[in-house]
Structure 1
């Protein structure tokens, strides 16, 4: 039974993960100054460059997941981005106790998202993807 669900589940996983990244990237693009300010508040260097990089990774990586194009690379890049962002922006260990619960929740949500992305990187996009079509043509 699960073999017959592999392709729809793979597509669903890609779409659900992309639903997190594409809107976040578009939000960073449409509110670029606010994004730069937020990155500056975390004390990171080159906040303009970091904001541009973040929105590019989220939008391009998210679209790649939707299409199933260079999916393993996109998933690895998004997983790395998510882990780095979690460390700097959801550092629950460094905030006042009354703020720790929400930051800890967001941190571990992102850890789980990174885990899902690493699963996609390990297993690929599935047959319903541009990667699969490209592999079929190359064979």
Structure 2
């Protein structure tokens, strides 16, 4: 693989991971609000779901960033993001005032899942802890 491609994979991993690490950190700092939002969507065991989300977002995000077990991290994050799109951004059930915003978030999640699938398929590249070529 060319050096430029390896740098591109590094930058792509970091850019994809940033939103997850930031989101997970905000779930930690606003844990009560996170619990309330998860519970409002009817998710069972909201505290457990919130802890799981934090682990996937912060843990998976950091793993993807540094390129350690990046394919597994990206797979977990992809499945999480896909599920979150349908559970938390169900624009088809939103009122007219919120439908457009929820559709944008839904499509963002689906697009991010596609980017994570790319990481699952192509791995982390040479500039990573695992140094995949």
Matched ranges for 1:89-104 at <5 A: 89-104=88-103
Q: 1:66, CA displacement in angstroms?
A: 1.1
**1:46 and 2:55 matched:** no
Q: Greater helix percent: which structure?
A: 1
Q: 1:126, CA displacement in angstroms?
A: 0.5
Name the SS for the 1:129 alignment partner.
Answer: coil
Bigger CA drift: 63-72 or 2-11? 2-11
Structure 2 portions without partners, runs of 5+ = none
Cα distance in structure 1, aligned partners of 2:95 and 2:35: 24
Cα distance in structure 1, aligned partners of 2:4 and 2:112: 21
Once the two structures are superposed, what CA deviation does each residue of 1:10-46 show, in whole Å capped at 9, x if it has no partner? 0011000111000100111111111111100001100
Q: 1:99, CA displacement in angstroms?
A: 1.4
Q: 1:4, CA displacement in angstroms?
A: 4.0
Once the two structures are superposed, what CA deviation does each residue of 1:80-104 show, in whole Å capped at 9, x if it has no partner? 0001111111000111122111111
Bigger CA drift: 65-74 or 93-102? 93-102
Matched ranges for 1:69-88 at <5 A: 69-88=68-87
Relative to the length of structure 1, the TM-score reads 0.91
1:29 corresponding residue in structure 2: 28
CA RMSD of aligned residues (A): 1.5
Q: 1:131, CA displacement in angstroms?
A: 1.5
Name the SS for the 2:130 alignment partner.
Answer: helix
Name the SS for the 2:124 alignment partner.
Answer: coil
Cα distance in structure 1, aligned partners of 2:50 and 2:33: 10
User: Over alpha carbons, which structure has the higher Rg?
Assistant: 1
Relative to the length of structure 2, the TM-score reads 0.95
Task: Provide the aligned length of Structure 1 versus Structure 2.
Answer: 133
| TM superposition outliers: structure 1 runs of 4+ over 2 Å | none
1:8 corresponding residue in structure 2: 7
